[in-house]
Amino acid sequence: MSELHYKLDLLKAMNQKLTEKERMYQMVCESSEEAILYYSFDRKKVTVLGQWKDFFDFEIKDTADIAKILENAADDESGRSRLYEVLYLEKSGRENAVEECLMKEKRIWLQFRTKVYYDNSGNPTDKVIYISNVTKQRYKDEELLYMAYYDSLTGLYNRNYFVQLLSEYIRKAAETNSVVSVMNIDIDEFNKVNDGMGIVMGDELVQQFGVFLKDLCRENVIACHLHRDVYGIAIYDPSGTRTPEQIYKAIRSRTKQPFVLSDGSAVNITVSVGVAEYPEAARSALELINYAELVVFKVKATGRNNIQYFNVPILDDFLNSVEVENRLKQAVINRDFELYYQPQYYTGNKRLRGVEALIRWHNQEGEIVSPDTFIPVAEKNGTIVPIGRWVVEESIRQYAAWRQQFGFPFIMSINISALQYKKDDFVDFLLEVMNRYQVKPFEIELEITESVLIDDFNAVSEKLKLLRGYGIRISLDDFGTGFSSLSYLKKLPIDTLKIDKSFIDTVLTDPSTRVITESILNMVKSLGFESIAEGVEEEQQYKYLHSIGCDVLQGYLFSKPLPATEVEKVFAGSLD
């Protein structure tokens, strides 16, 4: 009897231990975020555990019900076929397999991991299918994949993937002896949109234009958003409608119509396009992109809204500008500059009015570099600001010395760049220099060009009024070569208007030029400005300008620009 009690107690203990294990397994399954499907081949029984109801709206009672999972799959036939192999892995004799599939009922991505156990004879005994929700990871991976290849703003290829595809184009072209064209497309004066309408509207314009370029893509034509307002298009074996000219023609046609933004505003744009081709221009993707960009700079420098192809002179010009830029930075440090002065004379009595200060640069070889060569470079890289400050200080210092030496006042004209003029401390700096050398404001004339007026006319006018309020003279230089407008001219607080040399060159031979010149002078007199004609080189030009009432003349007929020591001889002659 005692042995029977012992066996009953042992059985009870074993059952209790088994119950504890089952409860532990049940707790583990319930705490898991997975759903688990277990199938016993011996008992032909299916058991589901875990979070099954979170994934499916149906139950699995026997092995035939597993097909319901396939019916719920949203993948194509190929995807469902792969899922079938995983769900019925024992049919292939494999032990492990994984597959991901989109479920059409709940629109979630599920991962199915199957493990099949076999006996020593190779017959399946048990199967466990672990099912987990990978929707977040799937979308995250897709987002990362998208970011790896596409630009988030425009939906075009990004720069890195564009370079990769372009490199493949070049590889194929090398094998087939074909051409690859790369177009660099830059929206002209895009900063005006950003500054005037805000960055959000600027981004929307970039996006809309990018969507338009995407519509131009087809077989062997790809587009990308390189940066900001710049795009790239690559064409493999261009021909027919797949040529830079035809694509540019489509772009020009589209830009004739405004882009309507979300705030209702309509924006008209033009684009500058540079083209570089393999193998003529370069033999690598990055070189083609860079050379196409170089051509865009050339297009913008010659008027914008055009297309141009890469050639060797463009590269030479770029390399020269890089060399000039590097040397110019050192010249600013060393102050390798000198001021020349060109005299100005009153037309009626040929009496000296004053001089215009003109900068010259002595390079490392001792040669004089023309301002036409280095000033555009200085304006581009910002060195024009320290150069301009040096010009202001040196010309005013020299003026003070000459006035003390020769004892009579005259006018010192100083050219001011747009970047220099826009500096917040410009007025304070100018007044401090004049005070230091005890120069009176009316003895200084600042020459500004129309480029100063482009960005913010009202702000420019206010600063001009401030300068004139101190008694400093203002001259508008190169009139007639920019966006000359009578409407803004009458609003400007200026004293002098300079007629550009291009008018004077043809004033005797071209009737149209004479009409324009005489009209300008009549207008100047009506507005109460003083007029100066630049580039007077012939006696007949002098006589004509005198006859139509030009106030002041400047040019080689009277004197070329002179170094300070030579100008002193001119001053000495004026005392006679």
Query: Tokens 């003529």 — which residue?
Result: 280
Q: Cβ(562)–Cβ(368) under 8 Å?
A: no
Instruction: Return the SS3 of 185.
Output: strand
The low-confidence residues of the chain, meaning pLDDT below 70, are: 1-32, 75, 141-146, 315-316, 318-319, 322, 454-456, 480-488, 575-576
CATH superfamily assigned to domain 336-575: EAL domain (3.20.20.450)
- In Å, how far are 332, 385, 432, 463, 476 from 425, measured between CA atoms? 20, 12, 10, 11, 21
Structure tokens at 564: 């300070």
Quickly list DSSP for 358-419: EEEEE-TTSPEEPHHHHHHHHHHHSTHHHHHHHHHHHHHHHHHHHHHHH----EEEEE--HH
Domain boundaries defined on the chain = 32-139, 150-310, 336-575
For helices 285-301 and 312-334, give the axis angle rounded to 10 degrees. 80
Which residues, listed in sequence order, are joined to residue 376 by a DSSP beta bridge? none
Which residues, listed in sequence order, are joined to residue 73 by a DSSP beta bridge? 103
Half-sphere exposure of 156 (CA within 13 A, CB side): 32
Query: Tokens 């050192």 — which residue?
Result: 330
Query: Tokens 């008992």 — which residue?
Result: 43
- In Å, how far are 236, 297, 373, 377, 470 from 323, measured between CA atoms? 34, 17, 11, 10, 41
User: What are the tens digits of pLDDT across the range 433-442?
Assistant: 999 999 999 9
Distance CA 152, CA 156 (A): 8
The pLDDT value recorded for residue 24 is 52
The pLDDT value recorded for residue 449 is 83
Quickly list DSSP for 74-94: -S-HHHHHHHHHHHTGGGGT-
| Range 32-139: architecture per CATH | 2-Layer Sandwich (3.30)
Half-sphere exposure of 321 (CA within 13 A, CB side): 17
Nearest residue to 131 via CA among 240, 212, 63, 35:
35
Half-sphere exposure of 539 (CA within 13 A, CB side): 0
Put simply, whether the predicted model's pTM sits higher than 0.75 gets the answer no
φ, ψ of residue 253 in degrees (nearest 5): -65, -40
**CATH number at 150-310:** 3.30.70.270
By the 10 Å C-beta count (0-12 exposed, 13-18 middle, 19+ buried), 205 is classed as: buried
Sign of torsion over alpha carbons 493, 495, 501, 502: positive
The H or E element that residue 23 is part of is: helix 2-31
The pLDDT value recorded for residue 1 is 47
User: What are the tens digits of pLDDT across the range 384-398?
Assistant: 999 999 999 999 999
Distance CA 182, CA 316 (A): 20
The pLDDT value recorded for residue 254 is 95
Distance CA 266, CA 289 (A): 31
Q: Cβ(294)–Cβ(310) under 8 Å?
A: yes
Structure tokens at 32: 């898991």
- In Å, how far are 130, 146, 409 from 141, measured between CA atoms? 21, 8, 77
Distance CA 562, CA 576 (A): 20
Residue type, 48: V
Residue type, 302: T
- In Å, how far are 186, 203, 302, 324 from 272, measured between CA atoms? 5, 19, 10, 25
Structure tokens at 75: 């993948």
Nearest residue to 369 via CA among 361, 377, 358:
361
